[in-house]
Homo-oligomer: A and B are copies of this chain.
Amino acid sequence: MGDQSINNDRPAKRQVTTGAVGNSVKTWSSPEGRADIRVPFREVPLSPEANEPPVRIYDTSGPYTDPTATIDVAQGLPALRAPWLARRGLDTVPQARAVRPEDNGFVTGKYGVAPCPAEHVVWRGSEGRPVTQYEFACAGIVTEEMIFAAHRENLGRIEKDPDAAARRADGEDFGADIPEFVTPEFVRSEIAKGRAILPANINHPELEPMVIGRNFLVKINANIGNSAVTSSAEEEIDKLVWAIRWGADTVMDLSTGTNIHNIRDWILRNSPVPIGTVPLYQALEKVGGVAEKLTWEIFRDTLIEQAEQGVDYFTIHAGVRLAHVPLTANRTTGIVSRGGSIMAAWCLAYHRESFLYEHFEDICDICRAYDISFSLGDGLRPGSLADANDAAQFAELETLGELTKIAHAKGCQVMIEGPGHVPMHKIRVNMTRQLDACGEAPFYTLGPLTTDIAPGYDHITSGIGAAMIGWYGCAMLCYVTPKEHLGLPDRADVKTGVITYKIAAHAADLAKGHPAARIHDDAISRARFDFRWEDQFNLALDPDTARSFHDETLPKAAHKTA
């Protein structure tokens, strides 16, 4: 019946949100012969009159929804990847980079957030041995992470769904290559082809592996960031916990200001999903917010700082080249990406090529050593329909294609960030050009927003574009909340953003003809037609809201079982 304590209120201090989603039951499944690999799912049991098996649902929520788990954020989550990593001949880093005052914004005294006490051994890849999932994949080696992700994509099925072939034939996938059943070998081959990534820093052993690529389920990302005044590490962790509870597949920590090193540590030690960052933001903090003071050395040091902590993917705006900046001169909304503006300001200040572009191979070396995936930033993404698909945007995309090749040659995993604000009829060309320019590397877009006129509702303006680009082949959709353009999202906004994007991603899976996506829809439709209200609520993406909306107008329990 759902935990009544689960609502939009923040949990009490020193706690994070726990408890089942609706009345779903946490369950685990292991691939055949690999009892050491336990893949989490949640299952919705149906009422007896349904005479149907429970419905299994992809589960991003981690141990927080496991009633048997003891959650202690000071200790962090279990390091489930540790035994796998231990067998890979990685080097421990005896002299890990020490935390410096600038890493936490020179915070002192009572405003400081203490470091996370969870134990954390720092690893680094060796030369000559595969480190990244890409290197393993290219060497023909199937990793435990790939096995985990494959089993997860199949929702634990041990063979293809009986309707898989029919569903595939019924879909329209725009040339994708979605299998009827996902094998670990398929995951490997997709990663080796550069068509998928499995973001998993070797210093993030707490991660439950997942795969991002257009031949897999469409994924979603939620952004979180620290509050102006951080009251506690738990409050920051709970933003993560709340986002993954509702379905965020990855989370980007976009915190700025004080305590960000320590908060990031707390987040990583307690995150079962890949964590992404924009290292440029922290580097800028270290130079007092003045773009011109940025140097390669400060940036490099920030990469290593975050790499050792375990960040799984980095947004790197190396595609904003000096020559591209003039292409934005006549735009309606100039450069709206924060990373893009920083780099454009730097390039213009010195009239020099971007240090990110010039040092891209050095960045690759760092990313390879920890298996940090690239999320090549679209610093010149349009900030309005007027600027969609313009010369600046596509010039950068071509550069991202070049960089993709370099990163692959260096053994790194790569995905590509995309817009932004794009009217519906210009969305598809974004997808086709990206696939073409970047050798089918996974695309990861922000929306896109399909109109500019609805501030306060940009989860919807962008959810439309997100569903469409997901259908066309976008691998991951970065959520937009109702507060976009207006302010910082609160807890209700984060949930609304995540649910909206789960809708978009699932609508895309259905349209692509994903072999099993419709099982969930069909189950809820049968429940609806049979007036099994409890089953309908429990199968809803957001059981709490479905139940409460029903209660508002038909409060009597009798109506629910009618």
Known pairs A383-B528, A384-B525, A487-B552 / 20 extra A-B pairs, C-beta < 8 Å: A332-B525, A332-B526, A333-B525, A333-B529, A383-B525, A385-B510, A385-B521, A386-B525, A424-B507, A425-B513, A450-B503, A451-B503, A453-B503, A454-B503, A455-B537, A457-B541, A468-B468, A483-B553, A486-B550, A487-B554
Asked if A92 lies at the interface with its beta carbon under 8 angstroms from chain B, I say no
Give Cα distance in the complex from A490 to B553, angstroms: 9
- Across the interface, A384 reaches (CB within 8 A) one of B172, B513, B521, B539, namely B521
Which A residues are within 8 Å of any B CB, using their own CB?
A: 171-172, 332-334, 336, 383-386, 421, 423-425, 450-457, 459-461, 463-464, 467-468, 471, 482-483, 485-488, 490, 499-500, 502-504, 506-508, 510-513, 518, 520-522, 524-526, 528-529, 536-537, 539-542, 545-546, 549-550, 552-554
- Residues of chain B within 8 A (CB-CB) of A424 are 467-468, 471, 507-508, 510-511
Q: List 21 A-B contacts (CB under 8 A).
A: A332-B526, A333-B525, A333-B529, A385-B525, A386-B525, A421-B525, A424-B467, A424-B510, A425-B511, A452-B521, A453-B506, A454-B542, A456-B549, A457-B499, A459-B460, A461-B503, A464-B507, A483-B549, A485-B536, A487-B554, A488-B553
Q: How many copies does the complex hold?
A: 2
Asked if A423 meets B385 with Cβ closer than 8 Å, knowing A528-B333, A549-B456, the reply is no
Q: Which residue of B lies closest to A552 (CB)?
A: B487
Give Cα distance in the complex from A518 to B539, angstroms: 40
- Across the interface, A490 reaches (CB within 8 A) one of B500, B545, B552, namely B552
Q: Which residue of B lies closest to A387 (CB)?
A: B525
- Residues of chain B within 8 A (CB-CB) of A463 are 460, 463-464
Q: Is the interface of A mostly helix, strand, loop or mixed?
A: helix
Give Cα distance in the complex from A2 to B463, angstroms: 28
Shortest beta-carbon distance, A184 to chain B, in Å?
28
- Across the interface, A546 reaches (CB within 8 A) one of B486, B499, B552, namely B486
Give Cα distance in the complex from A526 to B332, angstroms: 6
Give Cα distance in the complex from A537 to B456, angstroms: 9
Q: Which residue of B lies closest to A553 (CB)?
A: B487
A518 & B456 in contact (Cβ 8 Å cutoff): no
Q: Which residue of B lies closest to A55 (CB)?
A: B453
A525 & B468 in contact (Cβ 8 Å cutoff): no
Asked if A450 meets B552 with Cβ closer than 8 Å, knowing A455-B546, A499-B457, A546-B486, the reply is no
- Across the interface, A485 reaches (CB within 8 A) one of B455, B503, B528, B545, namely B528
Of A421, A537, A540, A542, most buried by chain B (CB within 10 Å of CB) is A540
Give Cα distance in the complex from A490 to B537, angstroms: 20
Give Cα distance in the complex from A359 to B558, angstroms: 41
**A-B residue pairs, 9 tightest by C-beta:** A487-B553, A384-B525, A424-B511, A456-B545, A172-B425, A425-B511, A450-B507, A452-B521, A486-B549
Shortest beta-carbon distance, A485 to chain B, in Å?
6
